[in-house]
Amino acid sequence: MAEFLVHTLSLPAPLAYLLAALIHCGFILGLVAAGAVVFIWAERKVSGRIQDRLGPTRTGGKFGWLQSPADGIKVLAKEDLIPRAADRLLFRAAPYVSFSSSFTAYLALPFADGWVAFDTNVAVFFILAVLGLEVFGVILAGYASGSKWSLFGAMREAAQVVSYEVPLGICVVIPVLLTGTMNLTTIANMQAGWCSNWLIFHDPFTFAVFWIYATCALASVNRAPFDLAEAESELVAGFMTEYSGMRWSLFFMAEYSSMLLVSCLAVILFFGGWHGPIPVFDWLGWAYPGGASSWQLTGFLANLAGCVNFITKAVIGVTVMLWIRWTLPRLRIDQVMTMCLKYCVPLAAICFIGALWWQVAGWWSPNHWLPLRPDGPGGMRETWVVAPEAACGEVARRLPWADSAPPHGAARRTLPGCGLAGPPAGWRTGSPAAARGGVQ
């Protein structure tokens, strides 16, 4: 984007950077806000349907489209209360911490090939880390409210999130392991082609681990049945008890945006990102060919469709979350902990080892059906190769499974997005993508 501004509009580079950054932030903010609005409405409708009600019907048209904008106006108009016992500074700061962290995570999230604000190599890690910061605001809110309900809620949230980050991390590491990169764009691009190329179908362990991921993600964004932090029936509203008006709605936006975020992550890690079940644009040849660095209309259209595709999958994920919320009853804190420490962590670990084993053994996987192109994604999943052949040989010699010859020929042993020479020209991530989309 910046290069586009510089070369096409011939703006001075710093201004171009500024504009590019602003545009990206604008897009993301719009997405988050719109997402929150839509999901709040959807939540009401879904819950209504599930409980055999209608949900909002009047405000704005038949389906109550304008319900959540109306809510928003109401919330904005509400008085902004700060309890006397509160720690005013932290009380004010907490919602912003929470919201800004869940918003920041989007920076590293690619919406299509190269459509990413911050095309970093550690995107997965980055998103996890920043998502972990969200709980921080919650705890601050709980402490600063100076009310015991809030404190209880915050403590629960802390315990829950801190413990659930462990299995979540392991689950996320598995796709990283299989693709050999933490660059989300690369991960997604490796699943190009038919839906058989999606990582969830890589082997039974990945299939299993996706569900663990779903559970842990649900817990780490503390949605029901893990929403103990704001358990209405026990703690009045948990950490949000003392909040009202704008700050309260900030918390809500943070919750919904992080829901969307985790499902986006799931889509990229397991469901091929913007690569649909059917590789339409690859047939049409519209998708950016490897190594193409200039802006093309066809490529743009392909990305656009990919973006729509991607968001659709994500929204489906969110809908499932809503569905779960109105289906399952809330757990007790001890059950939550048991769930995490006694089931999720061991299972995730087992899946980790299993996927690793499957990968090293190079057994058959659905991904080997219908590879998109001869050196297709199947060939791209050699994690042990760090770069030029020499290093590869070196590592192979050092690693315990060195003698078991990997199935794919050395010719396929190049891994994109690795630390040294950058992505090889033959593959369509890395610098061209950055040239097309990244701020930098």
Partner 1 sequence: MTIWAATDWYAFFFLLFALLACGFAAAVLFTSNIVRMAFYLTLSLGATAGLFFLAGAEFVGVMQLMIYVGGTLVLLVFGVMLTARAPFLSLRPRSGEWIVSLIAGGTLLFLLIASAFGVRNWRTASDSGPLPLAEAQTATAVGAGLTGVRVDRLNRDAAGHALSQLPHTDSGYLLPFVIVSVHLLVVLVGAAYLARAKVRRRSATESTASVEG
Which residues sit at the interface with partner 1, rule CB under 8 A?
A: 11-12, 14-15, 17-18, 87, 89-90, 93, 119-122, 125-126, 128-130, 132-133, 135-136, 139-140, 143-144, 151, 154-155, 158, 162, 165, 180-182, 386-391, 393-395, 398, 417-420, 422, 439-440
Query: What is the nearest approach in angstroms of partner 1 to the Cβ of residue 207?
Result: 26
Whichever of 53 and 148 has its CB closer to partner 1, that residue is 148
Query: What is the nearest approach in angstroms of partner 1 to the Cβ of residue 436?
Result: 15
Whichever of 12 and 204 has its CB closer to partner 1, that residue is 12
Q: What is the 3-state secondary structure (H, E, C) of the chain?
A: CHHHHHHHHCCCHHHHHHHHHHHHHHHHHHHHHHHHHHHHHHHHHHHHHHCCCCCCCCCCCCCCCCHHHHHHHHHHHCCCCCCCCCCHHHHHHHHHHHHHHHHHHHHHCCCCCCCCCCCCCCHHHHHHHHHHHHHHHHHHHHHHCCCHHHHHHHHHHHHHHHHHHHHHHHHHHHHHHHHCCCCHHHHHHCCCCCHHHCHHHCCHHHHHHHHHHHHHHHHHCCCCCCCHHHCCCCCCCHHHCCCCHHHHHHHHHHHHHHHHHHHHHHHHHHCCCCCCCCCHHHHHCCCCCCCCCCCCHHHHHHHHHHHHHHHHHHHHHHHHHHHHHCCCCCCCHHHHHHHHHHHHHHHHHHHHHHHHHHHHHCCCCHHHCCCCCCCCHHHHCCCCCCCCHHHHHHHHHHCHHHCCCCCCCHHHCCCCCCCCCCCCCCCCCCHHHHHHCCCC
Kindly report the backbone phi and psi dihedral angles of residue 430, in degrees, each rounded to the nearest multiple of 5, phi listed first: 70, -135
Cα 195 from Cα 370, distance rounded (Å): 10
Query: What is the nearest approach in angstroms of partner 1 to the Cβ of residue 206?
Result: 20
Whichever of 5 and 318 has its CB closer to partner 1, that residue is 5
Query: What is the nearest approach in angstroms of partner 1 to the Cβ of residue 396?
Result: 11
Query: What is the nearest approach in angstroms of partner 1 to the Cβ of residue 80?
Result: 21
Whichever of 77 and 420 has its CB closer to partner 1, that residue is 420
Whichever of 119 and 203 has its CB closer to partner 1, that residue is 119
Whichever of 27 and 384 has its CB closer to partner 1, that residue is 384
Q: Locate 141 and state its tokens.
A: 């809110």
Query: What is the nearest approach in angstroms of partner 1 to the Cβ of residue 215?
Result: 20
Query: What is the nearest approach in angstroms of partner 1 to the Cβ of residue 295?
Result: 19
Whichever of 190 and 372 has its CB closer to partner 1, that residue is 190
Whichever of 151 and 287 has its CB closer to partner 1, that residue is 151
DSSP string, 409-426: -GGG---TT-TTT-S-TT
Query: What is the nearest approach in angstroms of partner 1 to the Cβ of residue 351?
Result: 20
Sign of the dihedral defined by the CA atoms of residues 138, 139, 143, 147, in that order? positive
Query: What is the nearest approach in angstroms of partner 1 to the Cβ of residue 199?
Result: 19
Query: What is the nearest approach in angstroms of partner 1 to the Cβ of residue 421?
Result: 9
Contact 143, 85 (CB under 8 A): no
Whichever of 70 and 82 has its CB closer to partner 1, that residue is 82
Whichever of 27 and 136 has its CB closer to partner 1, that residue is 136
